[in-house]
Amino acid sequence: MSDLKATRLERETTGSGAEIAVLTLANPPLNLFDQAMLDALIADLAELTANPPRAVLIRAEGKLVSGGVDVHVFDGLSVEQGAELWRSLFARIIHPLEALPCPVVFAAHGLTLTAAFEMAVACDIILAAPKAKFGLVETVVGLTPSMGGPQRLAERAGSGRAREFVMTGDLYDAATMADWGVVNAVHDDVETAARQLVHRLAQGPTKAHVATKEIIGAWRSGGVAHADSVTPEVSGALFATEDLKGAVRSFLEVGPGKATYTGR
């Protein structure tokens, strides 16, 4: 567990013994991304990278998911310091989050602004409560979102929607985000739904999930042709896993849907 109070990192096991991790933004009422929150997230993601579970849930305590970034973080920065801030946050939060070798689910129960939303779109799956609202409101301080939000939003919703979302700085509800393809599903009890999904994913073939992330990552960086070029090796490596071997045997002996997975 992180020693920093702005977040809480807990590990638990599913009924089948698969380990999951729950990373909570735990500095209500606003869960602001101040220096303490950023430092805590950096430490938590380093721990998850060093000792990955089989699935991760990112959630928040309090009425809001996050009211955004503490503007004190930006005060007085030079051009060079501003650029270094973004380089550091990509290298230490966004890219490690995307690279976790397991499924990552983000649960948004309320207002989710700026850096929290940018973290959300770096996750694999986003679930939201009906009352959740989302926004990239950096224009209020003359800034553009710079932790990867615009480009990852464009990937999910299209470039026109991303420009609208960022340039207006408006808030968009969960139903709209689901209609745009940004939020995967809206649930009245998003906490329960997210935990159920994380448990289900953790009990699946973890190596295959990682391969899926790698193939989609290849598509993101180089298009269909690049993804096609890496798929044979990425997928082929799965034939060495215990999970594939055991699932094939299970399928042949007792039919589909009976296999159990260890993540190896």
**For the chain, percent helix, then strand, then coil, each to nearest 5?**
50, 15, 35
Res. 5: pLDDT tops 90: no
How much is the mean pLDDT over the chain? 96
Res. 217: pLDDT tops 60: yes
The Cα–Cα gap between 190 and 183 comes to: 12
**Residues 114-135, mean pLDDT to the nearest whole number:** 98
The Cα–Cα gap between 250 and 84 comes to: 51
Q: Could you give the percent of the chain with pLDDT greater than 90?
A: 97
Task: Give the global pTM.
Answer: 0.96
Tokens of 202: 């953790």
**Residues 225-242, mean pLDDT to the nearest whole number:** 98
Query: What is the per-residue pLDDT across 174-216, written as a single tens digit (0 to 9) for each?
Result: 999 999 999 999 999 999 999 999 999 999 999 999 999 999 9
Res. 220: pLDDT tops 70: yes
Res. 3: pLDDT tops 60: no
Predicted local distance difference test score (pLDDT) of residue 2: 45
Res. 1: pLDDT tops 90: no
The Cα–Cα gap between 230 and 160 comes to: 30
Res. 69: pLDDT tops 50: yes
Query: 161: which DSSP letter?
Result: H
Architecture of domain 7-202: Alpha-Beta Complex (3.90)
Task: List the chain domain ranges.
Answer: 7-202, 206-254
Q: Which amino acid is at 112?
A: T
Spell out the residues 6+ positions from residue 90 whose beta carbon is closer than 8 angstroms to its own. Answer: 147, 148
The Cα–Cα gap between 99 and 102 comes to: 8
The Cα–Cα gap between 116 and 42 comes to: 14
**Residues 221-231, mean pLDDT to the nearest whole number:** 97
